Amino acid sequence: MSAPEHWQHRKLKSRLLLPLAALFAAVAAARRLAWKSGLLRSRHPGVPVIIVGNITAGGTGKTPLVLWLARFLRDRGMHPAIISRGYGAARTDPRPVPADGSAADYGDEPCLMAQRAACPVWVGADRAAVAEAMRSSHPEVDVILSDDGLQHYRLARDVEIAVIDGARGLGNGWPLPAGPLREPPSRLAEVDAVVINGGDAGGAFPQALPMRLQGDRFRNLARPQQMVAAAHFRGMPVHAVAGIGHPPRFFGQLRELGLACREHPFPDHHSFRAADLAFGDDAPIVMTEKDAVKCAAFATDNHWALVVDAGVDPRLGELVTARLSQAARHG
């Protein structure tokens, strides 16, 4: 979902929700204590697990970082696989995601990762079960990346990376539903790394590592082999479509590329139909890669997706390598 406005401010609506927020925080804390104390048992798949998650609801840029990590690990001779919940998928059982899979069947982010990751991608509601099923089919896999799942304690993990949106930070600092927090800010002291995606929230998290989404090329949805530079769209009106957790991030990226956009925000994980993109003119329509997965079936020559990659502080790679070495010694 897109983040509600009241999550950024401590105004009347947020204050009215504080009793529910207190209940949510108490239940979340009790649940985590049950896992940490051993009352509920985590399951480890037998190879190192890297969790890329967040302590806030809404998009923070986890998927681009997972793709960066998959490439980083492959370049070092490892055989990664990616697991994900598959938000919005019709089924919840563990299963592989084909490169031509549909968002309705597997979720939009897993389909994007299956297209770009060059490694197995599996989805399912129970990530521990997904990891085990994936390993049965891919015994060569020697490290698992979990896209989201910081709070999915059923899956034991060796490395935890928390991603924070640099523009929104931790919002108003209150738990759901009064604010965006799934867990308290103190949880960040327990993870192996905090990554700040863009913006200027790094001052609030001095030990965090910076990340930026980079890209200036657009891929045509109807003809995926056709790519154009951002300069192709400069000087003309462009419709910008974003069904992500924080659409202003995408719109701001387009402005930085010099595009004059008419902004069309949609809810996160929106199931697009052709009518959603009928704007009554012939201006090009640009969107995120995540949205392109859901628009490919009805795309025309006028539909384009901005291809982005995560630009990550190299210290994150060094940290991950060190943690994996530790896991191997203790494994």
Q: Which tokens sit at 159?
A: 């490395």
pLDDT at 201: 57
Which pLDDT score is estimated for 202? 56
E-strand ranges in 183-302 read 193-197, 209-220, 227-229, 237-242, 260-265, 285-288
- pLDDT score recorded for residue 205: 82
pTM over 0.75: yes
According to DSSP, the β-strands at 49-53 and 159-165 are parallel
Buried-state track 246-260, b at ≥16 Cβ within 10 A, e below 16: bbebbbebbeebebe
Whether the Cβ atoms of residue 32 and residue 153 lie closer than 8 Å to each other? yes
Q: Which of helix, strand or coil describes residue 156?
A: coil
φ, ψ at 216 (rounded to 5°): -140, 20
Burial label, 285 (beta-carbon count in 10 A; 0-12, 13-18, 19+): buried
Every domain of the chain and the residues it spans: 5-211+312-330, 213-310
Positions of the chain with pLDDT under 70: 1-2, 200-203, 331
Is the domain defined by 5-211+312-330 classed in CATH 3.40.50? yes
Q: Which of 179, 146, 159, 162 is nearest to 8 (CA)?
A: 179
133 token code pair: 């099923």
Closest CA to 208 of 102, 103, 312: 312
Question: What per-residue confidence (pLDDT) applies to 2?
Answer: 67
